[in-house]
């Protein structure tokens, strides 16, 4: 059985791995669900990765299961798997279910809900290999901090609020249990007090771990974010004749939203590499600061001062900053050096006055325009909104008419200029 599966899957294996590896963050759960459906049959998949601050959980399959899955449930399963794989019954989607949990080198987990009995070792190895490729791809996309990822991450701050609401609901349940114990007439005072103490101790542990989890997903201390940047850049100064000077941010500076930390590290890494490729550059200075409202980044070299703002790579870096409502400026002085200054706001833009209202867009048209502006194609928009491609095309034509434009690019440009996120 195992041998026939292995020999018969070689070509399809490569094709499925390629499909999963090329998946965007929005598509990866669906593609994993499809790739593993006949290898390890299951009803739903959920991915949990703390590094992806916009959507730490990604889901596909039976919506009756996936819609109720909570972050605390996933965190408990991650601890249960401990980097390997685990199969058993656990609280998932608000009730006990049979699950299989696959860990990864990146710390992310994949949960298969209601899987069949564990298949032979060849199929388990196949499932783990496919998941490892997906986990590495997720980590790479987050680290690269492409503009569309940053826009999506900032736009779904509501996901963090939902996580907080889940934890609040759990704390309310704990308190209700505690009060019920204290009010019961079936226990004497000593037994009621002992039971109440046990309930309170368990609730306190869950509250603290839950608060830590929400904070970890939502934001990163600026000092820790900068240390990760230094670790990323250290090989350049260790193995090359390039001195990198780091000017530390204030240790008590405001914590950074996850998408801001990812963007800042990605921009600095790429800028340092661009500066290194110039002739005569021997030293680069990297400085972060925080004024309470913005993260301020400065990267300066001692090179010839001939960096060109028209470089495609620099335009890409500017797009990353713009995606978060920030800016990137280049100043080059011949024979003196080049300096890149970046400003990234720590808070999302005020969306109290939606431009979609002044354009007369219906709610569904506004959703389509946001996804179109984020670079999604019609098929991706249809999948995310649960509608057909023909319906997407109809909404798009209505959007063009109401915005007074005739192309996708023009609609996206107008929406971006108006601050639509």
pLDDT tens for 88-145 read: 999 998 899 999 999 999 889 999 998 888 778 888 888 998 999 999 998 888 887 7
Q: Torsions phi, psi of 94, nearest 5?
A: 85, 5
Q: What is the mean pLDDT of residues 247-260?
A: 87
The length of the chain in residues reads 421
Top mean pLDDT of 53-62, 112-121, 276-285 is at 276-285
Domain 355-417 fold is Arc Repressor Mutant, subunit A (1.10.10)
pLDDT at 309: 81
- Domain 2-144: give its CATH architecture: 2-Layer Sandwich (3.30)
pLDDT at 195: 72
Q: What is the mean pLDDT of residues 213-233?
A: 79
pLDDT tens for 154-164 read: 655 545 555 55
Which CATH code, of 3.30.160.270, 3.20.20.70, 3.30.565.10, 3.20.20.100, is assigned to 222-345? 3.30.565.10
Q: 328 near 321, Cβ under 8 Å?
A: yes
pLDDT value at 5 more than 60: no
């Amino acid at each position: 059985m195992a041998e026939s599966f292995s020999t018969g899957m070689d070509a399809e294996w490569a094709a499925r791995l390629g499909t999963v590896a090329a998946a965007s963050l929005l598509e990866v759960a669906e593609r994993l669900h499809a790739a593993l459906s006949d290898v390890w049959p299951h009803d739903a998949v959920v991915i949990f990765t703390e590094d992806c601050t916009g959507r730490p959980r990604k889901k596909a399959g039976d919506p009756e299961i996936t819609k109720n899955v909570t972050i605390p449930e996933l965190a408990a399963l991650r601890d249960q798997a401990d980097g390997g794989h685990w199969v058993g019954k656990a609280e998932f989607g608000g009730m006990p279910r049979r699950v299989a949990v696959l860990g990864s080198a990146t710390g992310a987990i994949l949960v298969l809900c209601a899987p069949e009995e564990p298949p032979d070792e060849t199929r388990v190895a196949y499932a783990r290999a496919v998941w490892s490729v997906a986990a590495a791809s997720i980590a790479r996309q987050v680290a690269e901090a492409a503009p569309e990822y940053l826009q999506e991450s900032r736009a779904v701050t509501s996901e963090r609020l939902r996580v907080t609401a889940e934890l609040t609901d759990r704390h309310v349940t704990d308190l209700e249990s505690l009060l019920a114990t204290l009010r019961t007439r079936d226990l004497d005072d000593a037994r009621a007090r002992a039971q109440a103490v046990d309930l309170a101790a368990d609730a306190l542990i869950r509250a603290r771990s839950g608060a830590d989890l929400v904070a970890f997903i939502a934001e990163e201390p600026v000092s820790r974010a900068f240390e990760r940047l230094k670790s990323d850049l250290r090989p350049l100064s260790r193995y090359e004749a390039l001195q990198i000077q780091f000017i530390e941010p204030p240790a008590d500076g405001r914590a950074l939203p996850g998408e801001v930390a990812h963007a800042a590290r990605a921009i600095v890494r790429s800028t340092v590499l661009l500066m290194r490729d110039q002739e005569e550059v021997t030293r680069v200075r990297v400085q972060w600061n925080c004024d309470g409202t913005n993260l301020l980044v400065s990267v300066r070299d001692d090179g010839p001062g001939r960096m060109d703002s028209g470089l495609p790579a620099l335009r890409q870096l500017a797009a990353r900053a713009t995606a978060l409502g920030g800016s990137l400026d280049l100043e080059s002085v011949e024979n003196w050096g080049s300096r890149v200054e970046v400003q990234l706001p720590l808070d999302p833009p005020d969306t109290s006055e939606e431009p979609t209202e002044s354009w007369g867009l219906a709610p569904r048209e506004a959703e389509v325009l946001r996804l179109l502006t984020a670079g999604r194609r019609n098929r991706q928009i249809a999948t995310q909104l649960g509608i057909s491609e023909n319906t997407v095309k109809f909404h798009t034509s209505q959007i063009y008419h109401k915005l007074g434009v005739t192309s996708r690019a023009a609609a996206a440009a107008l929406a971006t200029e108006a601050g639509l996120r």
